[in-house]
Amino acid sequence: MNQLRKIEGCTIETLDNVACQAYVKWVIERLKPDENLKDIAWLLAHCHDGVTWGLFDNIINDWLLSSTPFPKLCPRISASNLLEFRLFGLEREILIWRTESGFSGRSMVDKPGQKKNDPCRPDDEIRILLGDQVMDTTKDGFTRVRTKSGMEQAIPLEYADKDCTDGHWPFHLKMRHYFEEDQKTGVVRVAASRLVNVFKEV
């Protein structure tokens, strides 16, 4: 039975191997889990042989993966090569990782109504996605970018010629941190974190 845990700002549910396999099949076999997942928009998968991004296309009701337009850079996701992946959107994230006995995971869903002066209210952090040089034109919604040091990825964002100029890093990842307070000491610490959004700075 899956366990529920509530912290300020969200509810966390543990996922067993069966539930995790259902999410994996949603991506690689187009078999959708029996759950309302309309808010899930992005995918980030770490595989044995690289990183693959994904975005959900609501028009065709299916996943678009960076491994399709850029197969030499991004591995095709499969149950055998998947190490960890995150399905995420504005309201929730599903995190799945490989274990010795299969897959394990957790689902985090936001709870609205936090007070602005609450020290344990969720807090967002914006991180820069690696890539200040565009290597290829946008294909199927993905753009191949790289750094001067040679690191590359195909991100699920479209670009314009002006985006990567004068050392500008336009692509960003939003994370959300959730906190809890130690009842004995009063110390507030990060209890959990999740991905929220991928966007381009205008």
Residue 1 pLDDT greater than 60, yes or no: no
Residues 10 and 53 in one domain: yes
Sheet of 123-128, strands arranged across: 123-128, 171-181, 188-200
Q: How much is the pLDDT for 152? A: 92
Q: Which residues are bridge partners to 192 per DSSP?
A: 178
Residues 11 and 54 in one domain: yes
Residues 14 and 79 in one domain: yes
How do residues 89-117 score in pLDDT, each as one tens digit? 999 999 999 999 999 999 999 987 766 77
Q: How far apart are CA 48 and CA 69, in angstroms?
A: 19
Residues 13 and 57 in one domain: yes
Residues 98 and 8 in one domain: yes
% of the chain beyond a pLDDT of 70: 94
Q: Which of 110, 135, 167 is the last residue of a domain?
A: 110
Residues 74 and 135 in one domain: no
Residues 99 and 181 in one domain: no
Mean residue pLDDT of the chain comes to 89
Residues 103 and 9 in one domain: yes
- First CA to last CA across the chain, in angstroms? 45
Q: How much is the pLDDT for 113? A: 72
Residues 104 and 12 in one domain: yes
In this structure, is residue 117 part of a structural domain?
no
SS3 197: strand
Per the structure, the complete domain to which residue 194 belongs is given by 123-200
Q: What's the structural domain count of the chain? A: 2
> In the structure, what pLDDT confidence band is assigned to residue 164 with cuts at 50, 70 and 90?
low
> In the structure, what pLDDT confidence band is assigned to residue 202 with cuts at 50, 70 and 90?
low
How do residues 36-85 score in pLDDT, each as one tens digit? 788 999 999 999 999 999 999 988 889 999 999 999 999 999 999 999 99
